Amino acid sequence: MQFSKIFYVIVSTILVTAFMLIIYVSRSGNVNDKEEGKPVKIYFADNISSAHRAVINRFNEMYKGRIEVVPIDLPFNKFTTNDRKELLARYFRSKSDRIDVFSVDLIWVPRFARWAMPLDEYLPDSEKTQLLKYALKSCYYKDTLVAIPLYLDVAMMYYRKDLVEKLENYKQVEDELKNSITWERFIELSKSFNSNPFYVFQADDYEGLMCQYTEILDNMNGKLMDNSSLMLNTPQAENALSYLTDLVNKYKISPVEVLRFKEDDSYKYYLQNNGVFLRGWTGLFQNNAIGKKYINQKDNLVEVPLPHIKGSKPASVFGGWDLMVSRFSSKIPESIRFIKFLMSEEAQKILFEEGGYIPINNRIYNDPSYNKESSRLECYYRLVQNGIYRPFSEQYTNVSDILSYYINLSLKGTLTPHDALYKANEKLKSKSILLK
């Protein structure tokens, strides 16, 4: 344990140092960002994809000579979402004004609310109604608007059309898949594929595993938390974990390799090994480096809803990122102007077309000519209708860190589902932090 703590401190120090170096390099040469006669520079921290750069360039062109957005790139291939969460939290505790606008995973909003500007006075109701209610819901903390949505994401499934087409009852299976096949039928279907990995998903001890557990729990009318109270000692919680564990160990529809997979690992394994079905997120071939590498497989993959348990409604966990303005920023008006541009119809279309990010502006969905040209957008909008949230709680990130660790042990067969949930519950009740 002592070694784990030392290792954690060393890794954390390295990451924080790297993060501060990125900020320093981004701001080098810009001592006075409000120098008279020069544009006001605002600093935006996010994973800066090509789509992000396109909207930043468009904004800088529109406000040339007045405002300039300087991106601070925190790429997913260098910083995991957990890394970003911890780095940003450590950074804002210093009360530095070096970052003006930053993006957060929508489930982090309660945790970062203390460091964010309240936005109600800057965003009238007429502008709020332009936003998808599914996206806007994640932006409130204690009835105060502290963020605005940048884009939505939603869990989904891909399948290899050329492999599934070989089934005698392909048309029937295709119809079931388009309307969310039941897990029961899905398990039965796995018997038709012996040489290919059937279902590849993310089962490492991290947030991605929490997403699938949350969906199965929802199928069983269970909850992870009720307000701030944990619900881990319920029959639904144990049944959901038993079901998820059985997918790997009893029904064997997934290879054991999934137990160490995060998103990129699972995508690479699936695409390299001729997998049949893949749990993932939207925009695989547009905003993911692995997907871009295997772009030649794009036309052979079909996007469909995730399976659901018979008798329940389909459920797909919402993902996505929200924007916050640092309460330590000295450039609030310029930052507000930038985030309002990002929620505009123009910016949202760029993000969707360049990166596959699900738009949060209602006007895009209400534009018949635009929707007619984009069958993907129609597909994503249907998926959003079945979206569910993970708990909005300041405690959630610690709950996720601990619970995902014990869920992973259950899938490995190290603990029974009952013991895994019991140990997780005891750990959380002790208010301790798990060092992985």
pLDDT at residue 303 greater than cutoff 80: yes
Q: Check residue 76 and give its pLDDT.
A: 81
Domain 154-317+393-429 in the same topology as domain 2-152+318-388: yes
**Domain layout of the chain by residue ranges:** 2-152+318-388, 154-317+393-429
pLDDT tens digits for 343-399? 999 999 999 999 999 999 999 998 887 876 667 888 888 899 899 999 998 889 899
CB count in 10 Å sphere of residue 184: 13
Q: How many CA atoms lie within 13 A of 219 on its CB side?
A: 27
Rounded average pLDDT over 115-132: 95
pLDDT at residue 6 greater than cutoff 50: no
pLDDT tens digits for 175-217? 999 999 999 999 999 999 988 999 999 999 999 999 999 999 9
Residues in the chain: 436
Whose tokens are 């018997």? That residue is 191
Closest CA to 232 of 391, 414, 427, 424: 424
Q: Which two tokens stand for residue 213?
A: 């557990």
CATH code of the domain occupying 154-317+393-429: 3.40.190.10
CA distance 226 to 401: 18
Q: How far is CA 305 from the centre of its chain?
A: 16
pLDDT tens digits for 50-63? 999 999 999 999 99
CB count in 10 Å sphere of residue 213: 23
CB count in 10 Å sphere of residue 363: 14
pLDDT at residue 80 greater than cutoff 90: no
Q: What are phi and psi of 76, to 5 degrees?
A: -65, -25
- Predicted confidence band of residue 2 (pLDDT cuts 50, 70, 90): very low
- Within the chain, how many helices (H) and strands (E) appear? 21, 13
pLDDT tens digits for 405-426? 999 999 999 999 999 999 999 9
- Determine the topology of domain 2-152+318-388 in CATH: D-Maltodextrin-Binding Protein; domain 2 (3.40.190)
Q: Check residue 375 and give its pLDDT.
A: 74
- Predicted confidence band of residue 7 (pLDDT cuts 50, 70, 90): very low
Burial class (CB in 10 A: 0-12, 13-18, 19+), 434: middle
Q: Which residues of 2-25 are buried (b: 16+ CB within 10 A; e: fewer)?
A: eeeeeeeeeeeeebeeebbebbee
Rounded average pLDDT over 92-108: 94
Q: Are 89 and 43 in contact (CB under 8 A)?
A: no
- Predicted confidence band of residue 78 (pLDDT cuts 50, 70, 90): confident
Q: What are phi and psi of 95, to 5 degrees?
A: 60, 30
pLDDT at residue 82 greater than cutoff 90: no
Q: What is the pTM of this model?
A: 0.88
